[in-house]
Structure 1
Amino acid sequence: MNWRRAAVGGALALPLVVGGLVLAKGEGADSQGGAPSAQVPATPVVAAEVLSKPVADVAEFTGVLAAVHSVELRPRVGGYIESVRFAEGGLVTAGQVLFQLDARTFEAAFARVKAELLQAEERRTLAEKRFERGEKLVAEQAISQGDFDVLVAERAESRARVESAKAAVRAAEIDLQDTRVRSPVSGRVGRALVTQGNLVSGGSANATVLTTVVSVEPYYVYFDVDEATYLRFSGTSSGARGKDGRVNSVPVRVALRGEDGFSREARLDFLDNQVSVATGTARARAVLPNPDGKLTAGLYARVRLETGAARPTILIQDQAVATDQKGRYVLVIRADQTLEQRRVELGPLEGGLRVVRGGLSAGERVVLKGLARPGMKVAPTVVAMADSEHVGGARP
């Protein structure tokens, strides 16, 4: 049994490891074997006091950009393409000639009807003179009333033929002008779908598509709103609509893919007249300026719409938020410098900070960075919540 006593005695002589500190006999303990004199040091962390400021209630939606004007350019007359007069993908102005059709047959038709107009005008002149002579003769009873009635009818007929010839000249002139296919709107032109030398048809819904033109300033942003938002902006009793029944123009914030924050400002322009039974949403539209010309139709966008008046709101940095299986939480520093795990309900971003809808109160401090766990004692370095020097690194 002596070897067992020796083994036990040797085990009791080993140092004690607690919290990463080595406590051996005569090291870290008083001479009488009392409690260790060394204490676990407080863990340094970066913390910030939550920010409280008035923030309006907002709702966010996903939208898509669409051109205000989108045109499939078709010729009004048929013929052969003589030339293409634009740079594909470039900007064009309203009235700019994009295609020139062979105009020779239209020039000949225009010349013919002008000659017919001259003939009609000469016949009208002759009919007018005959009418004037007949008017004198019938007064002198030199001709019968029936002969005079024929002269009256000939004058009326000659006048009608002149008007008909003028209309034919105008129609031929329009056809001749339409051999120059112009852009109806200013915007960006697509590629030429028909090139020089091809025969195209015109003048109907089945006319050949030559190219497309879409306007670039401004753009529409279409998005679907939920029932609560629809009711907020559709009721006439709440002043949401004007005297003409249209929805009032209210500010809308827009952000494109890759953009931080909602830096673009638009105006609510349209709210549909019904809510979809299938989706429970209604189509809304905002007008978004595009002064630099960088936007294009089809881009997806995030849309933020104010749905309520401003009220005091708690804001924190995203890096203060951690996630586990139960959800999202932050570490709050108590008065005794220990950490408390606090579940939070988060909202959208506001000026680079995250809205906290529940779980925190004004004046509380949360950990932004540091090796921290619930219950741990910390030595916080307090910074401003929006201090850029301490923003960006996720808390381990």
Structure 2
Amino acid sequence: MKPGLSAMKSKPLKFAALSAIGLALLSALSGCGPDQVLAPPAPPTVSVSQPVNRQIIDWDSFTGRFEATDSVEVRSRVSGYLEKVAFTDGAIVKKGDLLFVIDSRSFQAAVVQAQGKLAQVRSQLALAEQEYARAKVLIESKTIARSLYDQRLQARQAAQAEVLSAEGALSNARLDLEFTRITAPMSGRISRKLISEGNLVNGGNNNATLLTTIVSLDPIDIYFDIDEQSYLKYRRQEQGAAGQNLVRIALPGQSEPALSGRMDFIDNRLDPSTGTLRQRARVANPDLRLSPGQFGRVQFSGRPSYQALLLPDTAISVDATRKVVYVLNAQNQVELRPVQLGKLHDGLREVASGLRPEDRVIVDGIQRVRVGETATASEQALALALAPKASASEGAPL
């Protein structure tokens, strides 16, 4: 066969093969219809729940310091050498317990001297009484002069005055002797001794030697300052400490308040240097675990209890500068709701405004939805027991 004839025969064969491949591709493409290529994705599935509707108490929190309800500085009323210290440093003492003893020998001698003086003036009074009695009888019969009767009367009155003076001196000497035994004026915890045995103790009202101090422990007070903004808020609500006097107290390291007390004092003016108002609450301390100087976190309600809607923080989003939540309407379409938030209550965030109790809030799957789209709802109940525990009303509003 000639070369030219062979080339002419191979061209129809190549064209036929290419045509068959093209028809196969068209046939494959014709099997995928337009509906199958452009079908929309299935609506996303989200978890929705109605907000928790709960009666709550809004607690405000302030830092306070414990102080003793009563405290006393133990000083001597008489001067003398300290003979004995009768307590252990830092012990709990009761009212009337012996604390110090001062050398009493000079005071015992003063008592004896005062007793002798009293006996002397009483003898003089007895003589004056007898002479006055005779003079009274004689003056009635005009046997003695009137001047002599007056002298006997004056002597009797002077003797009576001497007896009163001597009795007072004896009582004072006995008091000084009693004051050589210094006892606890109140119950509480005593400090250390500030003077040792054998030292001279100065007594009296001025410059008396400080021996030790005692502070009461049960009950104990906690003082705290509220800021001016809170003070104005309570005034507007006509509440404040006098109306809501129950307080809760958490000690350092405690996540939940473990103590309770009642407010019993509000200062009469704000501190102009700090703009705060001093307040006080009294707390029972039967186990004496609280001591003056400790810090505590005081929580008290500035308003009556009220109904509030609560959501987990995971259901709250940020849209520009506002807080929002996503809800599903009756047609399962996504809507955006701007909200105002409050504080945390048992791990759930208070929604102050912008939400209704019947709203179905998206609590899981927010990142999969857009406003106006339809979503498939999976109902979920918000259980407080499953929420992470947190201190009541912790944190400031978002």
Which one of the candidate residues 355, 359, 384 is aligned to 1:386?
Answer: 384
Call closer, same or farther: CA 1:91–1:341 in 2, change over 3 Å. Answer: farther
Find the counterpart in structure 2 of residue 12 from structure 1.
Answer: none
Asked if the contact 1:69/1:214 (under 8 Å) is kept, the reply is yes
Aligned partner letter, 2:82: I
Counterpart CA distance in 2 for 1:321 and 1:110 is 86
Find the counterpart in structure 2 of residue 109 from structure 1.
Answer: 110
Q: TM-score, normalised by structure 2?
A: 0.73
Counterpart CA distance in 2 for 1:59 and 1:76 is 48
Alpha-carbon RMSD: 4.0
Q: TM-score, normalised by structure 1?
A: 0.73
* Match status 1:346 vs 2:342: yes
Find the counterpart in structure 2 of residue 175 from structure 1.
Answer: 176
Counterpart CA distance in 2 for 1:225 and 1:385 is 34
Asked if the contact 2:58/2:301 (under 8 Å) is kept, the reply is yes
Call closer, same or farther: CA 1:128–1:109 in 2, change over 3 Å. Answer: same
Find the counterpart in structure 2 of residue 192 from structure 1.
Answer: 193
Aligned partner letter, 1:374: Q
The alpha carbon displacement at 1:197 in A equals: 1.8
Three-state SS of the structure 1 residue aligned to 2:210 is coil
Call closer, same or farther: CA 1:325–1:138 in 2, change over 3 Å. Answer: farther
Find the counterpart in structure 2 of residue 62 from structure 1.
Answer: 63
Aligned partner letter, 1:200: V
Counterpart CA distance in 1 for 2:162 and 2:206 is 32
Call closer, same or farther: CA 1:309–1:167 in 2, change over 3 Å. Answer: same
Counterpart CA distance in 1 for 2:269 and 2:117 is 57
Counterpart CA distance in 2 for 1:41 and 1:205 is 89
For structure 1, list consecutive stretches of 5 or more residues without a partner in the other structure: 1-30, 242-246
The alpha carbon displacement at 1:124 in A equals: 0.9
Q: In terms of mean alpha carbon deviation, does 115-124 or 350-359 score higher?
A: 350-359
* Match status 1:276 vs 2:271: yes
Q: In terms of mean alpha carbon deviation, does 80-89 or 298-307 score higher?
A: 298-307
Call closer, same or farther: CA 1:122–1:285 in 2, change over 3 Å. Answer: same
The alpha carbon displacement at 1:194 in A equals: 1.4
Asked if the contact 1:338/1:375 (under 8 Å) is kept, the reply is no
Find the counterpart in structure 2 of residue 135 from structure 1.
Answer: 136
* Match status 1:84 vs 2:81: no
Call closer, same or farther: CA 1:134–1:163 in 2, change over 3 Å. Answer: same
Call closer, same or farther: CA 1:124–1:240 in 2, change over 3 Å. Answer: farther
1:197-276 matches, cutoff 5 A: 197-227=198-228, 230=231, 250-276=245-271
Three-state SS of the structure 1 residue aligned to 2:226 is strand
Counterpart CA distance in 2 for 1:226 and 1:292 is 32
Counterpart CA distance in 1 for 2:341 and 2:60 is 15
Call closer, same or farther: CA 1:52–1:97 in 2, change over 3 Å. Answer: same
Find the counterpart in structure 2 of residue 304 from structure 1.
Answer: 299
The alpha carbon displacement at 1:351 in A equals: 5.3
Residue-pair matches, total: 350
1:311-330 matches, cutoff 5 A: 311-316=306-311, 320=314
User: Per-residue displacement from partner, 1:48-99 (whole Å, max 9, x unpaired)?
Assistant: 7532222344433322221110111111112222121122212111121111
Asked if the contact 2:346/2:388 (under 8 Å) is kept, the reply is no
Counterpart CA distance in 2 for 1:339 and 1:224 is 44
Aligned partner letter, 1:282: L
Aligned partner letter, 2:55: P
Call closer, same or farther: CA 1:207–1:40 in 2, change over 3 Å. Answer: farther
Find the counterpart in structure 2 of residue 119 from structure 1.
Answer: 120
* Match status 1:288 vs 2:289: no
Higher share of residues assigned helix: 2
Call closer, same or farther: CA 1:203–1:320 in 2, change over 3 Å. Answer: farther
The alpha carbon displacement at 1:43 in A equals: 9.1
